[in-house]
Amino acid sequence: MSSGYMKVLSIEASGASASVALIGASGVLAMISRTDRHGHAAWITDMVDDLMQQTETAFDAITHIAAGVGPGSFTGIRVGLAAAQGYGIALDRPVLGLSSLEALGWSMLPSMDDHNSQVLALTDTRRGHIFGQCFDHDKAISDVIDLDMGGLAASIVSYHAEVPFTGLYIKGYCADEVAKHLSQAALPVMASDEGDVDASMIGNMAFSRLAAGMTAADYPPTPRYHSAPLLGAAKKDR
């Protein structure tokens, strides 16, 4: 399929907010988001309906569905994937699952002017730690790391010991604080941006990969939880 005809409906709910976006050949056609930390399941379909009305797009014009698979909020990942798979079944369209951390890292590429620099993408675990992953442009060079501030510098140094780099771009949750911490440890931080992952990042990356010839089979909608769910009072405290 020519990328000129593609329209990707993107859903992201693994972070602190939930968002939906429609991506076409000209880029992000529209995005709607809500910052509530809980209750994503109650209104995500309403957000999609509003998105389609806002862009005056018929549902049958959608060619692909994309969703963030985490890591992040256990419940948020489930909500986003369930919605994406529901639309995929209803519309008979392929569903792609993309790493939320990879989408964060990918969104930093346009601002990187040093080809030897790398990206550290971060997201909130809501448990006092941070999920992080390092990327050499769009290639992951570390596993997902469950970090705490005290051991952050040592963890990052160990993952970069065999990969030369001249600078580190940091994107996501607590990026400014992490940048300060790593700078104090003499790591070369180039820039930081605290923006959270959203549906436009997931959708743009999905569109780019599809336009490059990849298919939904290359990105199965498999959740990446990396931690067990919080239940009862523990969940209400987050």
Residues 152 and 232 in one domain: no
Phi, psi of 49 (to 5 degrees): -60, -45
State how many domains the chain has.
2
pTM of the entire structure? Answer: 0.86
From 205, 224, 221, select the one nearest 144 (Cα to Cα).
Answer: 224
Residues 92 and 208 in one domain: yes
Residues 133 and 107 in one domain: yes
Give the tokens for residue 168: 């580190």
Per-residue pLDDT of the chain (238 residues), as tens digits, is 566 789 999 999 987 789 999 999 999 999 999 876 665 667 899 999 999 999 999 999 999 999 999 988 888 899 999 999 999 999 999 999 999 999 998 888 877 766 667 888 988 766 667 888 888 877 888 788 777 666 666 666 665 555 556 678 888 888 888 888 777 777 778 888 888 899 999 999 999 999 999 999 999 999 988 654 444 444 444 4
Residues 152 and 74 in one domain: no
Domain CATH code at residue 163: 3.30.420.260
Please give the single-letter amino acid code of residue 92.
Answer: D
Last residue of a domain, one of 160, 175, 193: 193
Residues β-bridged to residue 172: 122
Q: How far is CA 105 from CA 134, 135, 145, in A?
A: 8, 7, 14
Q: Rounded distance, CA 41 to CA 91, Å?
A: 20
Residues 86 and 160 in one domain: no
Residues 105 and 187 in one domain: yes
Domain CATH code at residue 10: 3.30.420.40
Residues 79 and 105 in one domain: no
Residues β-bridged to residue 9: 22, 65
Residues 156 and 172 in one domain: yes
Residues 213 and 141 in one domain: no
Residues 174 and 207 in one domain: no
Q: Rounded distance, CA 52 to CA 96, Å?
A: 19
Residues 89 and 8 in one domain: yes
Residues 158 and 209 in one domain: no
108: containing domain:
101-193
Q: Rounded distance, CA 238 to CA 229, Å?
A: 12
